């Protein structure tokens, strides 16, 4: 289909250093009593130590919230509470600093970067820095046509690769991954159902808060998309082009190259979970470089995360998108790094009583 050799990622992606993880785990036995007293926070510190390659985790100093934005043609079937083609409004709110993710990024010291890969608006309506990586305006209706052409799929995937390199080269030490779209959870549902071998109804969630009639339309769209996805299940790029979209293709590329570059990533909602599932098919070690932020309450997200062996750090049904769920996990990761670096044996008081 393209000049991209997906098989290469299987060899390029290495696991985080298991020896460093063990060293980090052993440190806690001399630092914290009772044993396991820090619970999941210590486990996160062990993960950070492993991905950073040193037993004492470094503080997170340059976190970046990276949000991919796109419109999906399937939204014309009224599968969302938002009208088709209205992703531009979500992008403007993020850029204006009024979206939940923008507020959280500001609160927790993460720089927010929005990437328009397929927003259905005139490029002049958004800043040039946002539209610089646009692949196309909107996507095809995945229930009856390919979301992207082969050339567009490759361009979107390569955009993700390039952005991962940019972030790694710029000194970003943690990426909070998000998406902004109308219709994106429908595309994600198709990918998850196809790769998990399950029925559309099992992965069809409420997305933006749809009612029962919209849920039935969404379920039907996912079922139609599944029929188009099954013939190309063996080709991950063809699958992303047939029933994904520019945002999902770019996010998948980003996740894979981030793993190659040893850049840790926090996943957000069902869209990034679906992309993680596709990326795992390409490089089975890649999920070791990711953690999941907050659970959204979407069955599709839960199924995808279970398949890639990730458990959300927070279970609060945060489904607003835009990276908010990933950003909510940032203070927990910052705390884990601070405790790893700050605790010393002489600082630890004996247990009370």
**230 and 177 share a domain?**
yes
Which residues lie across from 64 on neighbouring strands? 111, 175
Tell me the C-alpha to C-alpha distance, in Å, between residue 251 and each of 117, 158, 277: 10, 10, 11
**39 and 156 share a domain?**
no
Domain count, the chain: 2
Do the domain assignments include residue 2? no
> Would you say the C-alpha torsion 337, 342, 345, 349 has a positive or negative sign?
negative
What is the spatial distance between Cα 26 and Cα 60, in angstroms, rounded to a whole number? 22
**51 and 118 share a domain?**
no
Q: Identify whether the C-beta of residue 50 lies closer than 8 Å to the C-beta of residue 16.
A: yes
**40 and 68 share a domain?**
no
Identify which of 290, 284, 281, 285 has the alpha carbon closest to the alpha carbon of residue 255: 290
Do the domain assignments include residue 353? no
Show the domain range for 11: 7-58+338-347
CATH number at residue 23: 1.10.1610
**106 and 88 share a domain?**
yes
Q: Phi/psi at 210 (nearest 5 deg)?
A: -75, 155
CB burial of residue 170 (10 Å; 0-12, 13-18, 19+): exposed
**46 and 77 share a domain?**
no
CATH number at residue 281: 3.40.50.10210
Is the whole-model pTM more than 0.85?
Answer: yes
Which residues lie across from 118 on neighbouring strands? 70
The one-digit pLDDT tens for each residue of the chain (353 residues) are 458 999 999 999 999 999 999 999 888 877 876 667 788 899 999 999 999 999 999 999 999 999 999 999 999 999 999 999 999 999 999 999 999 999 999 999 999 999 999 999 999 999 999 999 999 999 999 999 999 999 999 999 999 999 999 999 999 999 999 999 999 999 999 999 999 999 999 999 988 789 999 999 999 999 999 999 999 999 999 999 999 999 999 999 999 999 999 999 999 999 999 999 999 999 999 999 999 999 998 999 999 999 999 999 998 778 898 999 999 999 999 999 999 988 865 444 444 44
Q: Identify whether the C-beta of residue 188 lies closer than 8 Å to the C-beta of residue 273.
A: yes
């Amino acid at each position: 289909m393209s000049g991209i050799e997906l098989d290469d990622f299987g060899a390029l992606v290495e696991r985080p250093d298991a020896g460093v993880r063990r060293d980090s785990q052993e440190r806690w036995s001399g630092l914290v009593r009772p044993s396991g007293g820090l619970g999941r926070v210590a486990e996160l510190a062990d993960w950070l130590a492993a991905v950073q390659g040193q037993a004492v985790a470094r503080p997170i100093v340059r976190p970046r919230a990276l949000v991919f934005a796109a419109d999906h043609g399937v939204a014309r079937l009224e599968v969302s509470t938002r009208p088709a083609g209205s992703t531009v409004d979500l992008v403007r709110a993020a850029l204006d600093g009024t979206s939940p993710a923008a507020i959280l990024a500001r609160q927790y010291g993460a720089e927010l970067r929005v990437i328009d890969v397929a927003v259905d608006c005139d490029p002049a309506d958004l800043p040039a820095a946002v539209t610089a990586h646009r692949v196309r305006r909107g996507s095809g209706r995945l229930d009856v046509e390919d979301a992207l052409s082969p050339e567009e799929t490759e361009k979107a995937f390569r955009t993700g690769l390039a952005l991962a390199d940019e972030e790694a080269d710029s000194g970003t030490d943690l990426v909070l991954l998000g998406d902004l779209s109308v219709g994106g959870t429908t595309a994600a549902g198709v990918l998850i159902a196809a790769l998990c071998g399950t029925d559309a109804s099992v992965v069809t969630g409420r997305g933006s808060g749809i009612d029962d009639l919209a849920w039935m339309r969404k379920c039907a769209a996912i079922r139609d998309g599944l029929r188009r996805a099954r013939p190309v299940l063996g080709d991950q790029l063809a699958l992303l082009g047939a029933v994904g979209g520019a945002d999902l293709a770019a996010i998948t590329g980003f996740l894979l190259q981030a793993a190659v570059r040893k850049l840790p990533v926090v996943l957000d909602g069902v869209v990034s979970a679906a992309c993680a599932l596709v990326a795992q098919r390409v490089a089975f070690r890649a999920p070791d470089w990711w953690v999941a932020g907050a659970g959204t309450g979407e069955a599709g997200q839960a199924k995808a995360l279970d398949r890639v062996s990730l458990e959300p750090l927070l279970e609060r049904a945060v489904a607003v998108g835009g990276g908010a769920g990933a950003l909510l996990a940032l203070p927990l990761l910052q705390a884990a790094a601070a405790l790893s670096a700050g605790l010393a044996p002489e600082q630890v008081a004996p247990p009370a009583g």
